[in-house]
Chain A
């Protein structure tokens, strides 16, 4: 399981201003902390960065690549900024991301080819978010076809089926799991990723990890290659590194519909069990889902 740390982010109260002011201190500190936490890639999220994004991305790449040996993930929707970052980068790099929108897909794929970069293939089309698993499959085929035609091989593509919050539409949460069971057949050799924290968007802050970790286990079961995660969720890293087979076994059991007496489980395990029930759609989500 490959982990991409999400914490170097323009949305952060401290890092946002540091990015704008080109103040390297907090940026370096965060990159070091993520490296120490044990993630595999560090995501550099500068947001849409409409003005001066190219110069900003080049600066962040140069600031971070000197102090970590991790692969970097360049995260912006501004393709000029993306190209500037790719130019500056010396070492392995991931483009986060290229969507299927007509205005973006060709240029995004061309950047991947030109700079020998891996890329996240975001299944976001001209019609927006895919509505179900079938549209995800259809978009994947489209994306790969376009990528191959432009000289980008499957092995470079990390397909992102787009996770949505559990409190918004449970069928979309389920669709990503189902999609993972199909990806290997639709797109042999392709990798996959998911913005894991999306699933817990809107949930009480201190409880989000339960949803993130449980959903990761559910997706990993069907071959999820990587995920964009909170680098400082220690339990998540333990699970991703295979150190919590007990939790994984419990989640699989519940996914298979085996009867589990949740009340008799220790608190930690009961929390995972209740979260599986919510993410499978067996029980409707509420902010108190761990209590009922």
Chain B
């Protein structure tokens, strides 16, 4: 008898959702097999990479992370345009760092104006990310949702404590919600149920499982994402059949390993190469676990991740 390669029995499919609008809208999700298991099923939309833009000039960034954005880091509009024009970004993620109540605490109305400016200046999908402070994110993301109605923003993080108010604004102004849960599959499912009960349509929901860098617990993120995909694809768990967004850039670039200069610690080697590889390798791990959208920073790390996606899906 001829040997037959065993195949996983799939019974579910990840929902295909459209992010953004117009010519540059992107589709994500739609998988019918585990990540890159093209011999068992389909991956109709390859994972997408959103480039980070900050709403205030970065402080204490590694030189390697700043260098590609020299001259635009004090202007989010110019920064976003540079990402698209020079680095081919297919999505932008605007990190609203300046709204942090423990930092600059920029008022919601002002932050919403910045979101609007960026949204007006670009045609690729725009992810808008708060600071995970429930009260402030509620104010900021609601204001942005209203001011940018019909821009089809992708709003996150939406957590259990603020899901009702942000979710309602997203429903009303037709934006997509990123349901964010703390590396816990049961809580991830619960939040998706709650958002569904609230009325968020299935085609406007993505999940953020909360991720971390290599060396900082990425194996837990991997395991949770892996189990999400197992439940979604082999157990027909409709409440976990949503695309996954991973906010990985800031997790890798904030680590000591990415930031410390070669002068301060010669045995760590070339700082630029180190930071880029840390981001690229962390991204690769998350791709293999099932990420549909990666939020990334360095153009060369992005290039490496794209090459990996191309290699894994080469016919």
- Asked if A284 is at the interface (CB within 8 A of a chain B CB), the reply is yes
Indicate if the CB atoms of A286 and B190 lie closer than 8 Å.
yes
User: What's the Cα separation between A94 and B193 when bound, in Å?
Assistant: 44
Interfacial chain A residues near B143, Cβ < 8 Å: none
Is B235 in contact with A291, judged by CB distance below 8 angstroms?
Answer: no
Grouping DSSP codes into helix (H, G, I), strand (E, B) and loop, the A interface class, with mixed when no group exceeds half, is loop
B240 contacts the other chain (CB 8 A):
yes
Residues of A within 8 A of B194 (CB): 288
| B186 CB within 8 Å of chain A | yes
| A288 partner, pick from B190, B235, B240, beta carbons under 8 A | B190
B193 touches A291 (CB 8 A): yes
CA distance A282 to B240 in the complex (A): 14
- The CA-CA distance from A282 to B185 in the complex, in Å, is 15
Contact call B193/A292, Cβ cutoff below 8 A? yes
CA distance in complex: A254, B243 (Å): 31
Residues of B contacting A205 in the complex (Cβ-Cβ under 8 angstroms):
none
B-side interface mostly: helix
CA distance A262 to B194 in the complex (A): 21
Query: Are B239 and A282 within 8 A (Cβ)?
Result: no
* Contact (Cβ within 8 A) A283 B235: yes
B189–A284 CB distance below 8 A: yes
Chain B residue nearest to A287 (CB atoms) is B190
A291 to B189, CA, bound (A): 12
Smallest Cβ-Cβ distance to B227: which chain A residue: A284
Q: In the assembled complex, which residues on chain A have CB atoms less than 8 Å from the CB atom of B190? A: 286-288
CB under 8 Å from chain B, chain A span 258-292: 282-288, 291-292
Is B231 an interface residue when CB atoms closer than 8 A count as contact? yes
A167 lies within 8 A of chain B by Cβ = yes
Residues in chain B near residue A167, CB distance under 8 A: 186
**Chain A nearest CB: distance from B107 CB in Å?**
35
User: In the complex the two chains form, what is the Cα distance from A286 to B192 in whole Å?
Assistant: 10
Is B237 in the interface zone, CB < 8 Å from A? yes
Check if B235 sits within 8 Å of A286, measured CB to CB. no
Choose one: B185, B187, B197, B237; the contact of A283 (CB below 8 Å): B237
Tell which of B185, B189, B237, B240 has the most Cβ of chain A within 10 Å.
B189
- B192 to A, closest residue via Cβ: A286
Q: Which of A284, A285, A292 contacts B235 (CB 8 A)?
A: A284
In the complex, the answer to whether B186 meets A288 with C-beta atoms within 8 Å is no
Residue pair B240, A284 in contact (C-beta under 8 Å): yes
In the complex, chain A residues whose CB is within 8 Å of the CB of B237: 283-284
B189: A residues at CB distance < 8 A: 284-286
1/0 contact trace for A131-175 toward B, CB 8 Å? 000000000000000000000000000000000000100000000
Would A286 and B193 count as touching, CB distance under 8 A? yes
> Is B193's CB under 8 angstroms from A284's CB?
no
Q: Return A140 CB to nearest CB of chain B, in Å.
A: 30
Residue of B nearest to A284 (CB): B231
User: Which residues 176-196 of B have a CB within 8 angstroms of A?
Assistant: 185-187, 189-190, 193-194
Of B186, B190, B237, B239, most buried by chain A (CB within 10 Å of CB) is B186
Q: Which 10 A-B pairs have the closest CB atoms?
A: A286-B190, A286-B189, A288-B193, A167-B186, A284-B231, A287-B190, A285-B186, A286-B186, A284-B237, A284-B189
Chain A positions within 8 Å of B, measured between CB atoms, are: 167, 282-288, 291-292
Could you pull out 16 A-B pairs where Cβ atoms are within 8 angstroms?
A: A282-B235, A283-B235, A283-B237, A284-B231, A284-B240, A285-B186, A286-B186, A286-B187, A286-B190, A286-B193, A287-B186, A287-B190, A288-B190, A288-B193, A291-B193, A292-B193
